[in-house]
Structure 1
């Protein structure tokens, strides 16, 4: 089996590195690059033996990469240019500059044989995506695009993302490529194969993870998970700060108990103390950073350093990748 040499770009907290380890493929991450100091601290804590550069991607020259003798690039470029919160600025957003710079490197770096790229849903409709795909074609890469969610792979979490895997100078690819983006429908598994939320729960979670009274006033829009739930919402970097669209909360109560509690609470004004006091009986709480790590398929031995705050943990996780999905795509890429 060939041993691959990997360049991990926009490495964040090392989700791609974790996926490579989980894949069982032969190879080593030779270099990781990211400009986020806090993410780099977490990366170094978990992968102390990997060389990590704290710098802008555009400072990494073709000559420097060539000397590394890598044949694989794993990357998750900034997604904000392709999101609603990022105002869909696409190629006009300066945060795309480093990725556009990288795309141009595919020509001189003919030793790169494998690429895996992850981004937010919406990237597939962007101008930058067209530039990326056209450059892959120009450089004689075979490629496949995907829109995939962890729930298709047995993980009880929604995180729909765009992925592209590409390879060149390789004998025929056993994977049957499709002209269109491969979507969820090709990968949906039996719902009973999904893990339950209870599989990832920590014991004796401190009370400081309880949803605050202020946020309980908006309890009507909370997404609530239970012990036997086989789903949870996508976690974003604003988790615990805002309640809408940032991730799910958990309760030990049953769905029936929650229904009865909300029925009683709705007899009060939702800004009143009576409303909040009623909902408080459910002891709704946020998932801990370790629980979110599990929902994003990081291994049990992955840890945050003690000096990283809970808020920083959530922000880093909101910008990370689902390890399980990347692992499965790596197996396809290196078939």
Structure 2
């Protein structure tokens, strides 16, 4: 498999390809974000990296790259529940439309993997994508999956499309879009460090009903003062925070606004037990709203943001993944929020690649 990585970001697809165990190489990566490209180049200095607007790519230029697979995670803003949902009319959807126009001309292309937000599955753009697959001679499978279905303590529901030429048979039959993998399909997947850890040191995750390992497995020793929630944030948002402890087996989806906004952008960490959190919040509720006494009770909980490294681990980036030294924490959170879960993609690459097995 020779992969062209579009919207390459910080290299999540590249790492997923490595983890999948499939014999493959990334022949080139393309992204227009200079900060993301700096991170990609830092971790994959030998890979051809093109700082380009995808809409400017031509068939002739792409054919010179000699690839037979496209992995991509196009912009999600046209489809996200927090956006305007302008769908195919959003300017940020133009690059994907351009790719769909190029696919019929890419005769050597055999495999396609696309990731996007939950909500894409009911979009006009999804209809255009599926139409392209059907008219260009591809079989495809659609799934909505989350890392917590694979033993990872994080919820990040995403739409996935796997497609390949009809001459290449899928290893599984799927009549319609699914939001989970069947037990038979899971058996096709090799054991991973995540599934093994979940079996050995896991608790039931309330979102998936599956065993997930606990958050103590992703925590690092950090300088607390760097990540403590500011007093003003506690005054305004203390009652809507999703607070997790080391013994929890789940966390909320981390978005690009994490570390800057608190509500709906991801979970925060508390070093104390759930019972202590409950008692402290009860005590705070009995104090005058926004008073110094109330804020001090909340400050005693030492609530902090998860560090970028911890978020990396929840998104299953390998330990040797690193950011250049000049990348700020805010940039790190933004880049991670726009990235993919490496482990989930690695499982899907494996399923995309294997063939001729009935499940």
Shared topology, TM-score over 0.5? yes
Query: Following the alignment from structure 1 to structure 2, what is the Cα–Cα distance between the partners of residues 282 and 333?
Result: 46
Cα shift at 1:185? 6.7
- Name the counterpart of 2:207: none
2:81, 2:119 within 8 Å by CA — same for their partners in 1? no
Cα distance in 2 between the residues matched to 1:150 and 1:231 = 10
Aligned to 2:176: 180
User: 2:293 aligned to 263, 271, 274, which one?
Assistant: 274
Distance 2:335 2:83 in 1: 17
- Name 2:350's counterpart in structure 1: 331
Measure, in 1, the Cα distance between the counterparts of 2:223 and 2:317.
Answer: 19
Match of 2:323 in 1: 304
Whole-Å separation in 1 of the counterparts to 2:272 and 2:182 = 35
Report the Cα distance in structure 2 between the residues aligned to 1:171 and 1:55, rounded to whole angstroms: 31
Comparing 287-296 with 164-173, which one deviates more in the overlay? Answer: 164-173
In angstroms, what is the RMSD of aligned CA positions?
A: 1.4
Aligned partner (choices 34, 41, 46) of residue 37 of structure 1: 34
Query: Which residue of the partner structure matches residue 209 of structure 1?
Result: 227
Which of 151, 173, 177 aligns to 2:148? It is 151
The structure-2 alpha-carbon separation of the partners of 1:193 and 1:84, relative to structure 1 and needing over 3 Å to count, comes to closer
Matches within 5 A, 1:1-335: 4-176=1-173, 178-184=174-180, 186=182, 191=204, 193-217=211-235, 218-335=237-354
- The answer as to whether partners of 2:139 and 2:166 remain within 8 angstroms in 1 is no
1:131-189: per-residue Cα shift (whole Å, max 9, x none)? Answer: 0101100011010001000000011000000000000053432222x121111374799
Q: Which consecutive unaligned segments of at least 5 residues does structure 1 have?
A: none
Measure how far apart 1:85 and its partner are.
3.0
Decide whether the 8 Å contact of 1:113 with 1:170 is kept in 2.
no
Q: Is the 8 A contact 2:244 2:251 kept in 1?
A: yes
Q: Normalising by structure 2, what TM-score?
A: 0.90
Shift of 1:243: 1.4
Moved over 4 A (4+): 187-190
